[in-house]
Amino acid sequence: MPEERTTDTHPTLFVHGALGDARTWGPVLDALPFDVDARAITLSYFGTAAWTGDGSDFGGERHARDMEQFIDATMDAPVVVVAWSYSCQPALLLAMRRPDLVAALILYEPVIGSFIEDDDRRGRFGADAAACFGPVAEVLAEQGEEAAAHRLFDNVGHPGFIADLPEDRRRIALSNARTVPLLMGKGAPPIRIAADEIRALDLPVIAAMGTETRPAFAISARALADIAPRGRLEVVEGAGHLLPESDPVRFAALVSEWLAYQPGDAR
């Protein structure tokens, strides 16, 4: 990777995953170099604000619009979008529909199966996604939102992940437990992003993953890097799905390196 940083780095928008909001990125933003113009967004229904709807529009379409409106109103486009897990899908939708707003995508561990074309990969993705998220739905039905939030992070990280967090970080995750029913099917119907739509993207796409992650996340990241015309796979040694939470300083350093790529460097 290049060691020097260009002077015309695009503004950067950080978009949280499940059980997160703009506060999630605080330690990452604090650890970024001073010359990175970075902001974080709270997507609709996440965070602590009162809901303005019933959640039936929760999903990729609504959250892509959130990002579009935030960039139009507060940032100097085009921007680099750094998305994590759940938010990788709306980030891709934004890039597909408003390419004027997006200079590049950095997607850490997407969980999207619709663009996976290989039958074996698709089958392994589906089996692991069911093993990961199926128990969360069961706990939600039997024990409620907070227990389901714990199980979600147990399954994508390690048992007891939320309980082991410092109090302020644990409060962020559990304040977003009310979104678990929406994540588990009470929001809008899922959106399918096809492989051909990924092939039409004319911008750098970094698909990043940790070596210690679940198969579903690894398969999705590798497929995205393979399909995107200007895609690049970044594999983070020793990291898992919850790296931005468990080691924000390391994640900030990685993002800083990835931001140093010029558009032509992405393949």
Partnered with residue 106 across adjacent β-strands are 82, 206
pLDDT tens-digit series, residues 108-151: 999 999 999 999 999 999 999 999 999 999 999 999 999 999 99
Are 217 and 109 within 8 A, CB to CB? yes
Burial of 75 (0-12, 13-18, 19+ CB in 10 A): middle
pTM of the model as a whole? 0.94
pLDDT band at 85 (very low <50, low <70, confident <90, very high): very high
Residue 8: what pLDDT? 56
Class of domain 12-116+188-265: alpha beta
> What residues contact 163, with CB distance under 8 A and at least 6 apart?
150, 170
150 φψ region: left (φ > 0), alpha (ψ -120 to 50), beta (else): alpha
Task: Look up residue 1 and give its two tokens.
Answer: 């990777």
Residue 167 has pLDDT above 70, yes or no: yes
| 263, pLDDT greater than 90 | no
Averaged pLDDT, 59-63: 97
Q: With pLDDT > 90 as the criterion, what percentage of the chain qualifies?
A: 93
Token representation of residue 211: 């070596």
10 Å Cβ neighbour count for 38?
21
